[in-house]
Structure 1
Amino acid sequence: MKENWLGAMQADQIGDETLDVARAAGLLQQQIRSAGLKLRESTDFTLFEDTIRATEDKYLMEDFSTRFFDLHGTSAFWIGAWDSAGEPVSVQAAKLEDLRDRSLGQYWQQQHRRIFVDPGAHAELGEDHAHDAFFMRGKIVYHGNLWLRRDARGKGLAEALTQLGFLISLLKWSPDYLYGLMAAQNAKKGFGIRVGYRRFVPRGTHWITPPGHIRPDDWLVYSNHNDLVTLARTIIAEDLE
């Protein structure tokens, strides 16, 4: 009888969690749309690449390129925002890795070597990656390729858009962790905490000789499952104030 009661209570908690996350995601969408932007979520990464080419930066991360990965709707999505003229204002992407058999640090050793080192002999990957990465296992979401047009910056949209990506990831996959790699300067200025990350490690991936387009000073920034749920409930609480 006690086990049945505990099971029912846990199910209620999960249900409340899902409702809170969905409500917070709705509040963020209202904020973004009130700025005159149209949102679209997609799992078509060919369209993602086309959208990236229409931005001023035109920067496509290898992690979200169909040249390197098979990106499917079950494990990857992207969100775009467009202005009233149909011009892209923001893009971001996320993908899920099931790392129950290895740590995130071990995953980096395999994938970064495959993507960056083997095709280009000038790059050399080290082994002294972020300490926390070697303890992170389970369902892990990588969030990246975040871009916001210059004229839209400084208006709170970066925070709202990024948090929306976090919460959509939480609703889709209920991950154990969600992480990104952030330039040290941005992390030190507090950008990571403003967009929703709650844990910071002053070393991301360790490069002895980085590829030409990769920053060697990135930080691992991440949140665990409970951090993301707390983020959603904080958004709701701030809306009620």
Structure 2
Amino acid sequence: MGLMIPDPDDQATLDVSAAIAVLQSRIEKAGLSLKESADFALFEKTVRSTEDKYLMEDFSPRFFDLHGTTAFWVGAVNSHGNVVSVQAAKVEDLKDRSLAEHWHQQQRRIFVDPNPQVRFGTEHAHDAYFMRGRIVYHGNLWLRRDIRGQGLAEPLTQLGFLLSLLKWSPDYLYGLMAAKSAEKGFGIRVGYRRFVPRGTHWEIAPGHIRPDDWLVYATRSDLHGLVKLILRTSAEDPE
């Protein structure tokens, strides 16, 4: 028998699972339990019961047929059984068009057609014109006020990133982030590695959409780098 060389992909999967376990234990130490689901009718109900109440169109069953092979959401629940955080992710297979072209088609259908005074621009984030392949959108991230500032936003968000990596091994994972949060470094802390100071371009934005969002994203290898970072820091600091 020759020496068996471990398959790097298998090793990577083990590493991602190990990093997810590290994040899970950090979150559970703070007294929260996690629940993952692909039931987006339940997601809508859960979001509507939070103080924020904002369900993004991208994760609304009214606009999209969301199911377990292409989307999931995660809720964090405190010891009283109250939901204190939610987030969601979904994957698109963009073989034949760029992310910018995909936005153009999708945003027009959701926001512009039903709302004639809204005007969608054409100068979207530069990188979005070059991003193709399996692309995950991560969004609808919400933390209840009383758990903010306790260092939970990072492990919760990273958990969503790594579940996406484990499920779909995407070419890219992206979000749209308020300029203020991006400039404060929140994106870097959670694991985004690339920043473009414009997201989708609106000439006249719908009332509830911020026109100052940045496109923030990570490549597959950036996400594997995040996995290594999580494992390294947990080895250095087992607490």
TM-score using structure 1 length = 0.95
Say yes or no: does 1:48 pair with 2:46: no
Q: Distance in 1 between matches of 2:171 and 2:214?
A: 19
1:69-218 maps to which residues of 2 (within 5 A)? 69-218=64-213
Q: Which runs of 5+ in 1 are unaligned?
A: none
Instruction: Please name the residue that 2:227 is paired with.
Output: 232
Aligned amino acid, residue 18 of structure 2: R
Q: Does the residue aligned with 2:17 lie in a helix, a strand or coil? A: helix
Following TM superposition, by how much is the alpha carbon of 1:136 offset from its aligned partner in structure 2, in angstroms?
0.3
Following TM superposition, by how much is the alpha carbon of 1:53 offset from its aligned partner in structure 2, in angstroms?
1.1
Q: Which runs of 5+ in 2 are unaligned?
A: none
Following TM superposition, by how much is the alpha carbon of 1:156 offset from its aligned partner in structure 2, in angstroms?
1.0
Q: Distance in 1 between matches of 2:130 and 2:103?
A: 13
Q: Does the residue aligned with 2:109 lie in a helix, a strand or coil? A: helix
Following TM superposition, by how much is the alpha carbon of 1:102 offset from its aligned partner in structure 2, in angstroms?
0.4
RMSD over aligned Cα, in angstroms?
1.1
Q: Distance in 2 between matches of 1:70 and 1:82?
A: 26
Q: Distance in 2 between matches of 1:165 and 1:152?
A: 18
Following TM superposition, by how much is the alpha carbon of 1:134 offset from its aligned partner in structure 2, in angstroms?
0.5
1:52-63 maps to which residues of 2 (within 5 A)? 52-63=47-58
Q: Which has more helix, going by share of residues?
A: 1
Instruction: Please name the residue that 2:215 is paired with.
Output: 220
Give CA-to-partner distance per residue, 1:179-227, whole Å, 9 cap, x none. 0000001100001001110000001000000000000000000000000
Aligned amino acid, residue 177 of structure 2: M
Following TM superposition, by how much is the alpha carbon of 1:38 offset from its aligned partner in structure 2, in angstroms?
1.0
Q: Distance in 2 between matches of 1:229 and 1:53?
A: 34
Q: Does the residue aligned with 2:180 lie in a helix, a strand or coil? A: helix
- Percent same amino acid among aligned pairs? 68
Give CA-to-partner distance per residue, 1:88-144, whole Å, 9 cap, x none. 100000000000110000000000000000011111000000000010000000000
Q: Distance in 2 between matches of 1:172 and 1:146?
A: 19
Q: How many equivalent pairs are there?
A: 234
2:8 to 6, 13, 24: 13
Q: Distance in 1 between matches of 2:15 and 2:151?
A: 22
Q: Distance in 2 between matches of 1:227 and 1:26?
A: 19
